[in-house]
């Protein structure tokens, strides 16, 4: 389950940033789906070229620093088009379990690497890239899986969904359940639905089921909102440390305790401090984090 307040807070920030400029940078996701839908044809005479056209607008979804899934799958398709074609047919076969299909595609990619990878060390066909192919093919049903992103999103939303590194099959099943719930919550928000509809253009997939929006929302939480929320929480925890010397503290300490403060007399005038008066000062710890301390002084 997803915490309602955590979801509401995240969505409010998403809407605000969506209008402020987020959409301009992330619109390509909806364009990528439409491009795939317009070009995919499993029976195309030149499967390799058809695959390139279909994936042409995926950009950072299938390529990033030291990660080249699109380049590798297109390279495999040039060398062994029939084998790659069969892999995609099996991946898109909805009569079989989706997790098994993803893991099978990954296994077949390992074999292609051995046969056609030459000096390549990695085929990059992992759960992230393979789930991307599924989303492109069935954008009203599937989402993009990325372990770190999903895990962060689940934590920020204070959900009951847990993800464990290396538990590929379990993580995928949990992920689809998690994002289905997240999508349902987004679909119930009329303002968000209108905001999306007002920004979609002819070169975008209409996203009636708001699955692509769900992907984008999860990405936003993990990359922008989640980090900001954690920073604010840390600042709040570190900002004020209160040492008041109240009755509870006195009861907990039966022995007398003394504080020694080395202070500049030009700044501090202890003759002006009355017994029991609250004095404020600021100091910095070794990490550079500011802390404000309050102390009741007893002049003796």
pLDDT of residue 272: 58
The percent of residues above 90 in pLDDT, for the chain, comes to 73
| Cβ partners under 8 Å of residue 100, min gap 6 | none
> What strands lie across the sheet with 278-284, from one edge to the other?
240-242, 290-296, 278-284
Say if residue 77's pLDDT is above 50: yes
Mean pLDDT over 61-79 rounds to: 95
Per-residue pLDDT band for 276 (boundaries 50, 70, 90) equals low
Say if residue 14's pLDDT is above 90: yes
- Interior CA angle at 158 toward 225 and 62, to 5°? 50
Mean pLDDT over 153-180 rounds to: 96
More confidently predicted of 196 and 294: 196
Averaged confidence pLDDT in the chain: 85
The percent of residues above 70 in pLDDT, for the chain, comes to 76
pLDDT of residue 293: 45
Say if residue 274's pLDDT is above 80: no
Per-residue pLDDT band for 82 (boundaries 50, 70, 90) equals very high
pLDDT of residue 292: 45
pLDDT of residue 169: 96
Mean pLDDT over 5-20 rounds to: 96
| Residues 198-234: b if buried by 16+ CB within 10 A, e if exposed | eeeeeebbebeebbbbbbbbbbbbbeebbeebeeeee
Per-residue pLDDT band for 227 (boundaries 50, 70, 90) equals confident
* Alpha carbon distance 291, 283 (integer Å): 6
Say if residue 295's pLDDT is above 90: no
81 and 47 in contact (C-beta within 8 Å)? Answer: yes
What is this structure's pTM?
A: 0.78
Q: Residue 233 is encoded by which pair of tokens?
A: 């929480």
Say if residue 181's pLDDT is above 60: yes
Say if residue 240's pLDDT is above 50: no
Say if residue 176's pLDDT is above 90: yes
Q: Residue 152 is encoded by which pair of tokens?
A: 């962060």
Q: Residue 65 is encoded by which pair of tokens?
A: 């620093």
Mean pLDDT over 254-264 rounds to: 55
- Which range among 189-198, 201-210, 245-254 shows the weakest confidence by mean pLDDT? 245-254
Mean pLDDT over 88-92 rounds to: 98
More confidently predicted of 260 and 122: 122
Beta bridge partners of 280: 294
Helix H or strand E encompassing 185: helix 168-187
């Amino acid at each position: 389950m997803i915490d309602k307040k955590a979801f509401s807070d995240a969505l409010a920030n998403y809407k605000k940033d969506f209008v402020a400029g987020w959409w301009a940078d992330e619109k390509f996701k909806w364009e990528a789906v439409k491009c795939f839908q317009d070009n995919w044809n499993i029976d195309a005479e030149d499967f390799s070229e058809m695959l390139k056209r279909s994936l042409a607008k995926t950009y950072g979804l299938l390529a990033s620093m030291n990660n080249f899934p699109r380049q590798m799958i297109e390279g495999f398709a040039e060398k062994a088009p029939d084998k790659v074609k069969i892999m995609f047919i099996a991946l898109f076969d909805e009569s079989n379990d989706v997790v098994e299909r993803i893991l099978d595609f990954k296994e077949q990619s390992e074999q292609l690497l051995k046969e056609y990878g030459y000096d390549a060390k990695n085929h990059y066909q992992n759960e992230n890239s393979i789930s991307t192919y599924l989303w492109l093919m069935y954008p009203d049903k599937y989402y993009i899986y990325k372990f770190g992103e999903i895990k962060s999103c689940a934590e920020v939303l204070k959900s009951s969904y847990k993800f464990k590194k290396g538990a590929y099959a379990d993580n995928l099943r949990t992920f689809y359940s998690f994002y289905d719930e997240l999508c349902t919550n987004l679909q119930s928000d009329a303002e968000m639905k209108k905001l999306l509809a007002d920004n979609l253009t002819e070169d975008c997939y209409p996203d009636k089921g708001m699955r692509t929006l769900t992907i984008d929302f999860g990405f936003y939480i993990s990359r922008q909102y989640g980090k900001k929320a954690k920073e604010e929480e840390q600042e709040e925890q570190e900002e004020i440390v209160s040492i008041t010397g109240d009755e509870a503290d006195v009861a907990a300490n039966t022995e007398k305790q003394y504080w020694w403060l080395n202070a500049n007399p030009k700044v501090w005038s202890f003759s002006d401090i009355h017994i029991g008066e609250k004095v404020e000062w600021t100091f910095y710890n070794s990490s550079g984090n500011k802390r404000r301390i309050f102390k009741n002084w007893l002049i003796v």
